[in-house]
Amino acid sequence: MKLRYFSHSAFQITTEDNQSILIDPFLDENPTSPVKSDEVNANYIILTHAHGDHLGDTFKIAKRTGATIIAVNELANYCAAKGFNVHNMHIGGAHKFKFGKVKFTIAHHGSETPEGNYAGEPAGVIITVNDKTIYHTGDTGLFYDMKLIGELNKIDYMLTPIGDNFTMGIDDAVKAVEFVNPEFAVPMHYKTWPIIDAEPENFKNKVEAIGKNCKILQYGQEIEL
Ligand code: NI
Ligand code: MN
Protein backbone atom coordinates (compact mmCIF):
# COMPACT_ATOMS: atom_id res chain seq x y z
CA MET A 1 0.00 0.00 0.00
CA LYS A 2 0.99 3.59 -0.51
CA LEU A 3 0.56 6.71 1.60
CA ARG A 4 0.55 10.08 -0.09
CA TYR A 5 0.64 13.45 1.66
CA PHE A 6 -0.99 16.39 -0.09
CA SER A 7 -0.20 18.84 2.79
CA HIS A 8 -2.24 20.11 5.76
CA SER A 9 -4.21 17.02 7.01
CA ALA A 10 -4.93 15.61 3.56
CA PHE A 11 -3.66 12.13 2.74
CA GLN A 12 -4.35 9.35 0.28
CA ILE A 13 -4.01 5.65 0.90
CA THR A 14 -3.74 3.48 -2.20
CA THR A 15 -4.15 -0.25 -1.70
CA GLU A 16 -2.42 -3.00 -3.66
CA ASP A 17 -5.61 -3.56 -5.68
CA ASN A 18 -5.64 0.16 -6.46
CA GLN A 19 -8.44 1.36 -4.22
CA SER A 20 -8.04 4.98 -3.25
CA ILE A 21 -8.97 6.24 0.19
CA LEU A 22 -8.72 9.96 0.83
CA ILE A 23 -8.56 11.49 4.30
CA ASP A 24 -9.65 15.13 4.81
CA PRO A 25 -9.12 16.15 1.14
CA PHE A 26 -8.59 19.90 1.44
CA LEU A 27 -6.88 20.69 -1.87
CA ASP A 28 -8.28 23.49 -4.05
CA GLU A 29 -8.29 26.24 -1.40
CA ASN A 30 -5.22 24.83 0.29
CA PRO A 31 -2.27 27.12 -0.50
CA THR A 32 0.27 24.34 0.15
CA SER A 33 -1.22 21.47 -1.86
CA PRO A 34 0.47 20.80 -5.21
CA VAL A 35 -2.48 18.60 -6.20
CA LYS A 36 -5.97 19.82 -7.01
CA SER A 37 -9.26 18.03 -6.47
CA ASP A 38 -9.84 17.16 -10.14
CA GLU A 39 -6.55 15.22 -10.18
CA VAL A 40 -7.41 12.68 -7.50
CA ASN A 41 -9.38 9.47 -7.59
CA ALA A 42 -11.33 8.14 -4.66
CA ASN A 43 -13.32 5.06 -3.74
CA TYR A 44 -13.74 6.29 -0.17
CA ILE A 45 -13.31 9.61 1.61
CA ILE A 46 -12.78 9.51 5.36
CA LEU A 47 -13.56 12.73 7.25
CA THR A 48 -12.30 13.47 10.76
CA HIS A 49 -14.60 16.47 11.13
CA ALA A 50 -16.46 19.10 9.13
CA HIS A 51 -14.23 22.17 9.37
CA GLY A 52 -13.54 23.60 5.92
CA ASP A 53 -9.88 22.63 5.97
CA HIS A 54 -10.92 18.96 6.37
CA LEU A 55 -14.27 18.65 4.57
CA GLY A 56 -12.40 20.52 1.85
CA ASP A 57 -13.23 19.25 -1.65
CA THR A 58 -15.09 16.16 -0.47
CA PHE A 59 -18.28 16.99 -2.33
CA LYS A 60 -16.54 17.87 -5.60
CA ILE A 61 -14.53 14.63 -5.50
CA ALA A 62 -17.44 12.44 -4.39
CA LYS A 63 -19.67 13.88 -7.11
CA ARG A 64 -17.11 13.05 -9.81
CA THR A 65 -16.00 9.66 -8.49
CA GLY A 66 -19.06 8.34 -6.64
CA ALA A 67 -16.86 7.77 -3.59
CA THR A 68 -18.46 6.73 -0.31
CA ILE A 69 -17.96 9.23 2.51
CA ILE A 70 -17.10 7.66 5.88
CA ALA A 71 -17.74 9.88 8.90
CA VAL A 72 -19.36 10.07 12.31
CA ASN A 73 -23.13 9.84 12.19
CA GLU A 74 -24.09 13.53 12.22
CA LEU A 75 -21.54 14.48 9.57
CA ALA A 76 -22.41 11.43 7.45
CA ASN A 77 -26.10 12.42 7.63
CA TYR A 78 -25.20 15.94 6.52
CA CYS A 79 -23.39 14.48 3.49
CA ALA A 80 -26.21 12.03 2.76
CA ALA A 81 -28.73 14.90 2.79
CA LYS A 82 -26.69 16.45 -0.04
CA GLY A 83 -27.13 13.23 -2.02
CA PHE A 84 -23.80 11.50 -1.43
CA ASN A 85 -23.11 7.86 -0.63
CA VAL A 86 -22.15 7.60 3.01
CA HIS A 87 -21.22 5.10 5.66
CA ASN A 88 -22.22 6.29 9.13
CA MET A 89 -19.95 5.36 12.01
CA HIS A 90 -19.16 6.76 15.44
CA ILE A 91 -16.41 7.09 17.98
CA GLY A 92 -15.24 3.77 19.37
CA GLY A 93 -16.78 1.81 16.51
CA ALA A 94 -14.86 -0.15 13.89
CA HIS A 95 -15.99 -1.53 10.55
CA LYS A 96 -14.34 -3.72 7.97
CA PHE A 97 -14.53 -2.25 4.49
CA LYS A 98 -13.26 -3.89 1.30
CA PHE A 99 -9.94 -2.08 1.65
CA GLY A 100 -9.44 -2.66 5.39
CA LYS A 101 -10.62 -1.70 8.83
CA VAL A 102 -11.62 1.76 10.02
CA LYS A 103 -12.09 2.73 13.67
CA PHE A 104 -12.98 6.18 14.95
CA THR A 105 -11.38 7.58 18.09
CA ILE A 106 -11.99 10.65 20.19
CA ALA A 107 -10.38 13.99 19.35
CA HIS A 108 -10.56 17.13 21.43
CA HIS A 109 -11.65 19.80 18.99
CA GLY A 110 -14.86 21.17 17.39
CA SER A 111 -16.82 20.46 14.25
CA GLU A 112 -19.43 22.42 12.35
CA THR A 113 -20.87 22.38 8.85
CA PRO A 114 -20.09 25.22 6.39
CA GLU A 115 -23.53 26.61 7.34
CA GLY A 116 -22.44 26.75 10.99
CA ASN A 117 -24.49 23.82 12.26
CA TYR A 118 -23.43 21.04 14.61
CA ALA A 119 -21.67 18.27 12.69
CA GLY A 120 -21.21 15.70 15.44
CA GLU A 121 -18.08 15.16 17.48
CA PRO A 122 -14.68 15.56 15.84
CA ALA A 123 -12.73 12.33 15.57
CA GLY A 124 -9.44 10.66 14.91
CA VAL A 125 -9.30 7.54 12.77
CA ILE A 126 -7.34 4.30 12.86
CA ILE A 127 -7.07 2.64 9.45
CA THR A 128 -5.68 -0.87 8.99
CA VAL A 129 -4.88 -2.13 5.51
CA ASN A 130 -3.30 -5.60 5.36
CA ASP A 131 -0.67 -5.53 8.12
CA LYS A 132 -0.17 -1.75 8.36
CA THR A 133 -2.02 0.56 10.72
CA ILE A 134 -2.24 4.32 10.35
CA TYR A 135 -3.59 6.59 13.08
CA HIS A 136 -4.70 10.00 11.77
CA THR A 137 -5.44 11.92 14.95
CA GLY A 138 -7.60 14.54 13.22
CA ASP A 139 -7.43 18.01 14.74
CA THR A 140 -6.95 17.56 18.45
CA GLY A 141 -5.34 18.73 21.61
CA LEU A 142 -3.22 16.30 23.57
CA PHE A 143 -5.19 13.76 25.60
CA TYR A 144 -4.03 11.06 27.95
CA ASP A 145 -6.21 8.35 26.34
CA MET A 146 -3.76 8.35 23.44
CA LYS A 147 -1.81 6.03 25.72
CA LEU A 148 -4.71 3.57 25.55
CA ILE A 149 -4.87 3.91 21.77
CA GLY A 150 -1.19 2.99 21.68
CA GLU A 151 -1.71 0.06 24.04
CA LEU A 152 -4.59 -1.41 22.05
CA ASN A 153 -3.20 -0.83 18.57
CA LYS A 154 0.20 -1.39 17.03
CA ILE A 155 0.43 1.89 15.14
CA ASP A 156 2.86 1.97 12.24
CA TYR A 157 2.28 5.57 11.16
CA MET A 158 0.87 8.24 13.45
CA LEU A 159 -0.19 11.34 11.54
CA THR A 160 -0.22 14.16 14.06
CA PRO A 161 -0.86 17.91 13.92
CA ILE A 162 1.99 20.11 15.12
CA GLY A 163 0.83 23.59 14.03
CA ASP A 164 -0.41 24.84 17.42
CA ASN A 165 -3.18 27.46 17.85
CA PHE A 166 -6.00 25.13 16.62
CA THR A 167 -4.37 21.81 17.58
CA MET A 168 -1.41 20.41 19.45
CA GLY A 169 1.82 22.32 19.01
CA ILE A 170 5.17 20.59 18.70
CA ASP A 171 5.79 19.82 22.38
CA ASP A 172 2.33 18.36 22.97
CA ALA A 173 2.61 16.39 19.73
CA VAL A 174 5.91 14.90 20.93
CA LYS A 175 4.16 13.83 24.14
CA ALA A 176 1.37 12.33 22.00
CA VAL A 177 3.97 10.31 20.08
CA GLU A 178 5.35 9.07 23.40
CA PHE A 179 1.83 7.96 24.42
CA VAL A 180 0.94 6.25 21.13
CA ASN A 181 4.41 4.79 20.50
CA PRO A 182 4.12 4.42 16.71
CA GLU A 183 6.79 3.05 14.40
CA PHE A 184 6.88 6.47 12.70
CA ALA A 185 5.43 9.86 13.56
CA VAL A 186 4.43 12.03 10.60
CA PRO A 187 3.74 15.74 11.22
CA MET A 188 0.75 17.45 9.61
CA HIS A 189 -1.41 20.59 9.95
CA TYR A 190 1.50 23.06 9.77
CA LYS A 191 2.58 25.99 7.57
CA THR A 192 -0.69 26.08 5.63
CA TRP A 193 -1.12 29.62 6.94
CA PRO A 194 1.16 31.88 9.04
CA ILE A 195 -0.88 31.12 12.21
CA ILE A 196 0.30 27.48 12.14
CA ASP A 197 3.87 28.12 11.06
CA ALA A 198 5.49 25.26 13.01
CA GLU A 199 8.78 23.81 11.80
CA PRO A 200 8.55 20.05 11.10
CA GLU A 201 12.33 19.68 11.51
CA ASN A 202 11.99 20.88 15.13
CA PHE A 203 9.31 18.26 15.70
CA LYS A 204 11.50 15.58 14.11
CA ASN A 205 14.47 16.51 16.33
CA LYS A 206 12.33 16.36 19.47
CA VAL A 207 10.74 13.05 18.46
CA GLU A 208 14.19 11.55 17.82
CA ALA A 209 15.39 12.91 21.17
CA ILE A 210 12.87 10.64 22.91
CA GLY A 211 14.08 7.68 20.84
CA LYS A 212 11.23 7.56 18.29
CA ASN A 213 11.22 7.79 14.51
CA CYS A 214 9.82 10.65 12.50
CA LYS A 215 9.19 10.89 8.78
CA ILE A 216 8.51 14.31 7.29
CA LEU A 217 6.55 13.88 4.07
CA GLN A 218 6.96 16.54 1.40
CA TYR A 219 3.85 18.09 -0.12
CA GLY A 220 2.67 15.64 -2.78
CA GLN A 221 5.11 12.92 -1.75
CA GLU A 222 4.01 9.29 -1.85
CA ILE A 223 5.72 6.53 0.12
CA GLU A 224 5.37 2.77 0.07
CA LEU A 225 4.42 1.36 3.47
NI1 NI B 1 -10.58 21.66 12.67
MN1 MN C 1 -7.93 21.89 10.86
SS3 196: helix
Ion ligand 2 — residues with CB under 5 Å? 53, 139
Kindly report the CATH number that applies to the domain delimited by 2-224: 3.60.15.10
The span from the CA of 166 to the CA of 89, in Å, is 25
| Residue range 175-203: mean pLDDT, rounded | 98
Distance from Cα 189 to the centre of ligand 2, integer Å? 7
Region 157-165: mean pLDDT is: 98
Mean pLDDT across the stretch 37-54?
98
CB 1 within 8 A of CB 15: yes
Q: How many helices (H) and strands (E) does the chain have?
A: 6, 13
Domain ranges of the chain: 2-224
Query: Which residues, at least 6 apart from 49, have a Cβ–Cβ distance to it below 8 Å?
Result: 55, 75, 107, 109, 110, 111, 119, 120, 122, 123, 138, 139
| pLDDT for 101 | 98
Q: How far apart are CA 37 and CA 46, in angstroms?
A: 15
**Ligand 1 (ion): which residues have CB within 5 A?**
51, 139
User: How large is the average pLDDT for residues 23-30?
Assistant: 98
Distance 108 CA to ligand 2 centre (A): 12
Write down the pTM of the prediction.
0.98
Query: Cβ of 78: how many Cβ atoms within 10 Å?
Result: 23
